[in-house]
Structure formats: C-alpha cells, structure tokens
Structure 1
Amino acid sequence: MLRALFFVICSLALLVVHRAPAVAEQELTIGSPAPSLDIEHWIQDGNGFFKPVKKFKKDKVYVVEFWATWCGPCIMSMPHLAETQKKYRGRGVQIISISDESLDEVESLLSQEHPQAGKGKGAPAAGSTFADITSAYCLTTDPDRSVHESYMEAANQNGIPTSFIVGKSGQVEWIGHPMEMDAPLEAVVEDTWDRVKFKKQFQSAAEFETNMQKLSMLAGAGKFDDAIAFAEAQIKKSKADELDEMVIQWTDIRFSLMISTGNITDDVVTYYRDHINTMKDNPIQLAQFGYSLYDAFQQGGDLGPLDTDVIKAITASSDKAPADAVPFLQNTIAQLFAADGQLEKAIEAQKKAVDAADERQKRRLVPFLESLQGKLAKEKKARDDK
C-alpha cells in the first residue's frame, strides 16, 4: 500500500522530507569497529545477569539502543526489547539501552505504570511499571553524552529510538529502529548475516534521503520537469546498482510527479491501473488509493481516467468491506466523482456516506455534502441564467 500511496508525498509542490537527512560522510557505519562504551549510570542489569560493559567481548552480540523518557516510540519499544532480551538471554546477547538524561529523570520514570500494561494479548501485565519491564535488560543513562557522540552523531543518526547491533567480531552489523531488528539480530546470532549486502542497502537508504531533499527543492521551486528527470536518473542508477527496492521507490516518485503535473501519458495510466488491479479484492486499500488521488487532484493534478477506474474498482469490491467502512468508501467515491465533475453522482455517494456514518463521522462528512450541493446549485443557476 505504501507504493500505491507514495505519490501523495511527492505530488505536493512543497515537498517535505520528514526523515533525518544523511548529509555528511559517516564516521561510524556498517562494518565499523564498534566504539567502546563509557556509560555513567547502569540502572538495570537484567536482575543481576549482566555486568557493565566497556569493551565488547569476542563471540558475544550486543544491542546498543538509544532512548529518552520523553520519546513515545522509545517507551513503546520497551516491552519488545524486554521480550527480545529474554529470548536471547542464554545465547550471548546483551541489550544496553542508553539515555542521555540525568539519573533523576530516568529514575523518576521507573515507578510509573507503563502505558501498554494490561492492554491486551502480548502486552505487559496490568500494573507493570517501567522498572518491571526494563528489568530484563540493561537500562542506563549517560548524561555527558559521550556514547551518544560516538554512536549516534558519528553515524549521522538524528532520531530515537535507534539500535546498533554489534556482532561477534566487535563490528557494527546493523543500524535501525529496535522494532525492526528481529530478523537481523537472529541472523547475526546464527552467523548467517550478510553484512556486505546490508551495508549496500544502508548506504543507498542514506543516499535516498539526501536525494529526496534535492527532489524536494526542485518540486518546491516548481521545476517539475527537472524533478522528473532527476527521478529517472535515479531509476537508472538503482537498476545499475541492482537495488530493486530503490527502483520501485523512484519509479513511484516519477509517476506521482507526472500525475501532479497533469502529464497523464499512457505509461502513467498503465502503471496505476496495474496498482488498481493488485488491490481489486481490497476495497479499503482501493479507497485509500482513491483518497490519495483526490489529494493529488486538489493540488492541481490531472487524474485522467484513473478516477473512474478507482470508482469502478471500489464499487465492484464493496461487498468485501465491513459495514463500518461504508462511510469511508462512499466518501472516497464522492470525492472522485467530484474531481471528474460529476456532481450529482458525487452527491448521491456522499449521501450514502452520511447515512451509514455515526454521529462523529457525520460531523466530518456533512460539510462536504453541503459543499457539493452548493456547487451543483450554482451550476444549475448559471445554466438557467443563460
């Protein structure tokens, strides 16, 4: 679905890249020797199972993770880190989670109940505190930021949580979000990890972010032809480097830019019709795609025949949708009919959306219905006045 919706990001004239830029050559990257740790405060130690670490031992695997008390995603990652540590407790893996806050700030958090406690299957037990959950692994804080500098800053990583997997040879094997490290960690532990392959992927992702900034500047300046040419150049480069995922992403960007500039060629229509076909049995995905098409239309894009194609696909698959999805589906159909200038059909669909909606949804849907009715009344009046 990300592929199908990706063009929304790039169809805006003022394109913004939300991820952190990789602007400088990294001092620390995949394959680099992992810097030693000089952590001031070791708060949790796996209930006595682990010792403080300065230098990494051969044939051991470490996860060095950076977090903060104010970071919501860090907080949400804690139960997963705990379960991961329990899984690998006897397999030579030690998780070390590092904040750069004061000891008081971190300790004041520990007595509080974790927000996921008692929230369903797989969640920590009701009443579980931060101290209970993090007791499985090493929770630390390093207020002088020395480890933050040697890892996060050296690797040009600006967002947390971020984890570094340090392998059995003391080298950095993987860098990323802790919720995404399961497969890499297992491969590192089992000695099946392809560090060379991942380094290539990691570097291409950093280059992608930098190139997205360049593309943003071109699109923001209204230089869409140059932006499209830039995307085409990146497609060729990614193919030459055998980076299939990058080829997919840059191809999505190229076609989305073409839609946003009204350049609806046969290739564009074929490309998005293929997307529509892959979603033909999923009305929710189709509606999400249709919603993004309407967004592109609002930004001045030309949808060509695609609005009609999506309407037909949603209608054909609507029997597969749950009842509570009807307002979303019909609202999307109404938007696409409106984009095509078919106001009467748009009003009909939006009425169905309102009729199927709850009171909260109706407050959002009714204004669009009234807007459509107002436009239709103006059109009829204009025709009558002629």
Structure 2
Amino acid sequence: MNRCFSRIAGLRRGAAFAALVIAATVSMSGQRARGEATLGIGDKAPTLDIEHYVQKGKEGFGEVTDFEEGKIYVVEFWATWCGPCIQSMPHLVELQNKYRGEGVRVISISDEEVEKVEELLEQDYPGREETFGELTSAYTLTVDPDGSVSEDYMQAAEQNGIPSSFLVGKTGLIEWIGHPMELDEPLAEVLADRWDREAYKEQMKRQEQFQIAMQKVNQLAGSGKFEDALKVVDKLLEELKSQDDPRSNLIRKQLTSFQYNLRLDSGDQSDEVMAFFRKQLNEAKSDNRELTQFSYNLMASMQQGTDPGALAGETIAALNESVDSADDEVKPLMYVLIAQINASMTKFDEAIAAQKKAIEASTGRQKERMTQLLEQFQEMADSQDESEEAK
C-alpha cells in the first residue's frame, strides 16, 4: 500500500517505475537510515498531547490524553498534501462506523496548522457529494502543529511514511503499526482477544530487515545499476522461501512483480517481461480500480522516461473498454490516465480528447483541476506544433 514519501535524490528517469513498485512492496519508502526505535509492538502507548481538536466525531467524543482500559484506539498520522492519506479517509470512516459501539475510536493527527486543515475540510471530497469535513465527521480529526505527538509515535517507532496508524489495544499497549488500509484484520483480532502480539512482533522485525535491503535496491536502481539491484532481489526471494506466513507470501508476490518492473525499467522488453505485464493487465480488467492502479503506475513510469513498448497502447485500449461502465467516482480518473499516457507518447490530440471527457465526468472543484490539466495538454500540443514548424 502506497505512502507519501520523498523522491530519492538523483533518481534517474528510467528508475522511477522501480521506485514506485518499491513503495508498494515495502509500504515505507523514503525512510531515513534506521536508528534504535524506542517505541515498538507491546510497548505502552504514549499519552496524547494534542493541541487542537478540529472534529470530535459524530458521537461527540471528548478529548483523549490517556487511553481508557478496555477500549481500543487507532492513532493515525496524515497530512492534507498526502494523496494516500486522502484515499484512506473513507476506510477510516467505515471502520469507525462499524465498530463505534464496541469501544473503538479513530483519532487522526496532522502536524500542520489548523487553518490548513480547516481549508481542506471545506472542499469537496473527490468523487463524493460531500465535503472532506462531512466525510471525516465520523471520527476524531486533530491538529498538532508542534509535532509532539508525531515525535512520541512516528519518530520513536522509526515510522516516516504516512499515512501511518498505531493500534492501541485494551490494555493501552501498541498492538500493531501499519497502513490504515491494512487495519481490518488486526483490529478485528484485537477486538476478539485473538491477536498474537508476539508473532506480529517477530513478523515486523523481519519486515524491517527487508525494508533495509529494499533501500539498498532502491539506491542501486536509482543509479542505474539494475543488474546489481536484481541480484539483491534474487537473494531476498531466496530468503523468503523458508517463510510461509500470509505477510511473507504477500511480500514474495510483490517482490516477484518488482523483478519484472525493474527489468522493464532497464529497457528489457523481452517476451517474458511483456507477457508478465499483459497477464497483470488482463487480470486488472475485471476490476476498474485495479485497472486504474495498474494504469497509474504505468503512466507515472512513462512520465519519468520508461518505455513500455506496446503495453502503453494496450493499457489505453483496456481503459477505453472499461470506462463507460466505471463508477462515477472512478470514471474521471480513468479518462485522465488515458490522456496522460497519450501525452507521454506525444499524442496530444488523443490526450486532449480524453481530457475533455474527464472534465465532462467531473463535478465541483475536481472539474476545475481537470480544466487546468487540459490547458497544460493544449500548451504542450502548441509547443510541439511550433517545433515542427521551426524544422
């Protein structure tokens, strides 16, 4: 699950696709070098010294300092500029509404200024007929500009990617740390008193070691040393063979996918590589959201210089085949992806035509952003025409 992260300095254009997949694989790209974490699984959750409560939830939850025994808390860190944080909001609403009567409380914390968050809350949430404020009113939304809570949790646990959530169990101990989109299973297990904290602690230790190795891969790919990067990936896959738990199996699957992304990023358009991606594309066609994610990753890599060959046209075709049946929430993004992939191939007429459809499918502030992107495509087309005339 993607998180907001800082792009690696010196990342060359051809390595962007690899970097994107690393982010999805380890769920924690852009971390600083790890030191000695002072907050981990099984430790007592620090008290919350939050400066501002912007929204306390529909039930009128009060402010929280210490954690009440017998209740469960999700302490989540986010920011207005973080796309994955925004995408996680509906899921946090779903979890809060589902477990509201079972002593579960979601508390989201941003270290931005109050005015910045309040400005976002007044805007329309993309694809929904409600504002950010109306959507997130289900749970507790807070602001802590001095960053003290982030220091107690994020820095202490060596967690630098957001969104990031800490599951505080019935006895006030940290039970789980991870992406809020992955909360469902641990939250349900903690509620049912079935959570194996020690097993998860060991699993997280292995994951940290894996992340350190993947940082090395990221550095190698960023400097164009694809062969060396692939050797590290091969070694990681060999080590994972002896681990047969759900998380290791998922990492193994994602790491295998990364191998092929890295090969494509290096310019490998062999039959084997193209067959792998065509299989992914065909599987994604059954779910518009999966197709959108696949297309987004491809588009982002193309914008950084990766040449996916015929896969670009095939992805556009798949999007065109599926867009008419897509939900209103997803349809504008699918048209945007069609436009951007075409633009990456300098097919600006096709890009402009698709972007106009994206505008028609959009509402509110989203339509304004879509119009701005159309203007950019038109400027790029005009620039291309001028260059051709100059020749």
**Both structures adopt the same fold (TM-score exceeding 0.5):** yes
Residue type at the aligned position of 1:115:
L
Q: CA–CA distance in 2 between the matches of 1:40 and 1:186?
A: 27
1:194 Cα deviation after fit: 3.6
SS in 2 for 1:188: helix
1:231 Cα deviation after fit: 1.8
Residue type at the aligned position of 2:31:
A
Residue type at the aligned position of 2:121:
P
Count the aligned residue pairs: 351
Runs of 5+ in structure 1 lacking a partner?
3-7, 339-345, 382-386
Q: Relative to structure 1, is the Cα distance of residues 231 and 152 closer, same or farther in structure 2, using a 3 angstrom cutoff? A: same
- Which of residues 341, 354, 357 is equivalent to 1:332? 341
In terms of mean alpha carbon deviation, does 92-101 or 173-182 score higher? 92-101
Q: CA–CA distance in 2 between the matches of 1:94 and 1:347?
A: 48
Structure 1 residue 12 corresponds to structure 2 residue 16: yes
Q: CA–CA distance in 1 between the matches of 2:65 and 2:385?
A: 68
Q: Relative to structure 1, is the Cα distance of residues 317 and 375 closer, same or farther in structure 2, using a 3 angstrom cutoff? A: farther
Q: CA–CA distance in 2 between the matches of 1:201 and 1:53?
A: 30
Matches within 5 A, 1:313-324: 313-314=318-319, 320=325
**Contact 1:22 / 1:207 at 8 angstroms: preserved in 2?**
no
Q: CA–CA distance in 1 between the matches of 2:349 and 2:357?
A: 13
1:173 Cα deviation after fit: 1.0
Q: CA–CA distance in 1 between the matches of 2:182 and 2:197?
A: 16
Q: Please say which structure displays the higher CA radius of gyration.
A: 1
* Cα-Cα RMSD: 5.6
Q: CA–CA distance in 2 between the matches of 1:357 and 1:139?
A: 34
Residue type at the aligned position of 1:240:
S
Structure 1 residue 23 corresponds to structure 2 residue 45: no
Aligned to 1:343: none
TM-score of the aligned structures, taking structure 2 as reference length: 0.62
Q: CA–CA distance in 2 between the matches of 1:308 and 1:76?
A: 28
1:186 Cα deviation after fit: 3.2
Instruction: Spell out, residue by residue over 1:84-118, the C-alpha distance to the aligned partner (whole angstroms, 9 max, x if none).
Output: 678756645566778899xxx88x999x7982699
Q: Relative to structure 1, is the Cα distance of residues 377 and 269 closer, same or farther in structure 2, using a 3 angstrom cutoff? A: farther
Q: CA–CA distance in 1 between the matches of 2:101 and 2:229?
A: 52
Residue type at the aligned position of 1:165:
L
Q: Relative to structure 1, is the Cα distance of residues 90 and 292 closer, same or farther in structure 2, using a 3 angstrom cutoff? A: closer
Q: CA–CA distance in 2 between the matches of 1:51 and 1:290?
A: 42
Residue type at the aligned position of 1:332:
I
Aligned to 1:247: 252
Q: Relative to structure 1, is the Cα distance of residues 363 and 175 closer, same or farther in structure 2, using a 3 angstrom cutoff? A: same
SS in 2 for 1:164: strand
1:272 Cα deviation after fit: 0.7
Residue type at the aligned position of 1:190:
A
1:188 Cα deviation after fit: 0.9
**Contact 2:15 / 2:222 at 8 angstroms: preserved in 1?**
no
Matches within 5 A, 1:298-377: 299=304, 301-307=306-312, 309-310=314-315, 313-314=318-319, 320=325, 329=338, 332=341, 335=344, 346=347, 349=350, 352-353=353-354, 360=372, 362-370=374-382
Matches within 5 A, 1:36-185: 37=47, 57=69, 60-63=70-73, 65=75, 91-93=102-104, 115=121, 145=148, 151-158=153-160, 162-177=164-179, 181-185=183-187
Structure 1 residue 265 corresponds to structure 2 residue 270: yes
Q: Relative to structure 1, is the Cα distance of residues 237 and 25 closer, same or farther in structure 2, using a 3 angstrom cutoff? A: farther
Matches within 5 A, 1:170-249: 170-177=172-179, 181-242=183-244, 243-249=248-254
Residue type at the aligned position of 2:234:
E
**Contact 1:66 / 1:97 at 8 angstroms: preserved in 2?**
yes
Q: CA–CA distance in 1 between the matches of 2:355 and 2:141?
A: 52
- Which of residues 268, 275, 280 is equivalent to 2:280? 275
Q: Aligned residues: percent identity?
A: 32
Q: CA–CA distance in 2 between the matches of 1:27 and 1:334?
A: 47
SS in 2 for 1:241: coil
Residue type at the aligned position of 1:11:
A
TM-score of the aligned structures, taking structure 1 as reference length: 0.62
Q: CA–CA distance in 2 between the matches of 1:367 and 1:114?
A: 29
Q: Relative to structure 1, is the Cα distance of residues 364 and 94 closer, same or farther in structure 2, using a 3 angstrom cutoff? A: closer
1:141 Cα deviation after fit: 7.5
Runs of 5+ in structure 2 lacking a partner?
3-11, 24-28, 360-370
1:21 Cα deviation after fit: 4.1
SS in 2 for 1:63: strand
